[in-house]
Amino acid sequence: ACSPIAAQFAISSTLLQLFASKYTRLDIPSFPYIIEDYPQYPWRGLMIDVARHFIPIPLLKRSIDAMQVAKLNVLHLHLTDSQSFPILLDDTPELQLSKLAHLGAYDATKMYDKKSLIDIVKYASIRGIKIIPEIDVPAHVYAWGKAFPEVIVNCTEIANANQSPLDIYTFDPSNPLTYELISQVLEQIADIFPSQHFHIGGDEINFRCWESKPALKKWIYEEQNATSHTKDDKLDGGSEI
C-alpha cells in the first residue's frame, strides 16, 4: 500500500477474504492478532481499453474498486487508438489540441476531460492503485488524423486491402509537425498521470504504408545512412518520458 488510507483498504480486503466466505458473524475474543500478508508479485496489473470501448468514469471507478478487493495495484489505461481519441486536451498557442477529441472521439458524450482523469487518478491512488496511461504511437493513430491529417501517411489502397484498415495508418516521421504534436500531447498527459511509467504502444507498425510513399521511403533511407552503429552499441529505455 502506498498510503495509510490504501493500507486500510488492503487490511479490509484481507479480513474479508479471511472471514466473509466462512462466517456470517465474526467474534474476535482477544487482541492482538498478527496477520502476515504480502503480495507475491510487486506488479499486479489490469489493462482496460477505453479507446475501442469507451467506459464512463463511474464504471471505471467500479473496476478500480474491484481491483482493490483483488489486490491489483496497476491499471494500464489504454487511452488512444485508431478507433478513437477520447481525451479532451487544452489548446496551446501553437496547436488546437482540443480537435483531437472533438473530431477523434466516438461522439461528444464519449470523451474524458482533464478534470475527470485527474479525479480517477486520485481515486485509484487512495486505493493503492497506480494508473499507467497508454498513448499509442506511431501506429494505431487513425483518430489523430481526423484532426491533423497532415501528420498521417495516407496509404488508403493498402488500408482498404486489409482486414483492419484503420490500424494501417501511421504517423509521418518526416514531418516536423508530427513530433511537435506528439510532444505537446504527451506533456499534457504527463501532467495528468504522475506515474513514472508511460506506455507509448509502438506495436504493429505497417511498414508497407511508409514504403508506399517514394519521398518518405527516400527520407527513411537517408536517415538510416546518416546514423552509424557498431556491434557494441546498446539501446536503453527509461521509465520516464
Who contacts 67 (Cβ-Cβ below 8 Å, separation ≥6)? 46, 73, 75, 127, 129
Half-sphere exposure for 121 (CA within 13 Å, toward CB): 17
Helices H / strands E in the chain, number of each = 9, 6
d(CA 60, CA 124) in angstroms, rounded, equals 10
Per the CB < 8 A criterion, the answer to whether 66 and 96 are in contact is no
C-alpha cell at 148: 491533423
Does the annotation count 204 as an active-site position?
yes
Cell of 5: 488510507
> Which of 221, 212, 122, 135 lies closest to 169, judged by CA?
212
Select which of 94, 204, 222, 223 is catalytic.
Answer: 204
Give dist(CA 2, CA 42) in Å, integer: 12
Query: Of how many residues is the chain composed?
Result: 241
Question: Which residues are marked as active site?
Answer: 204
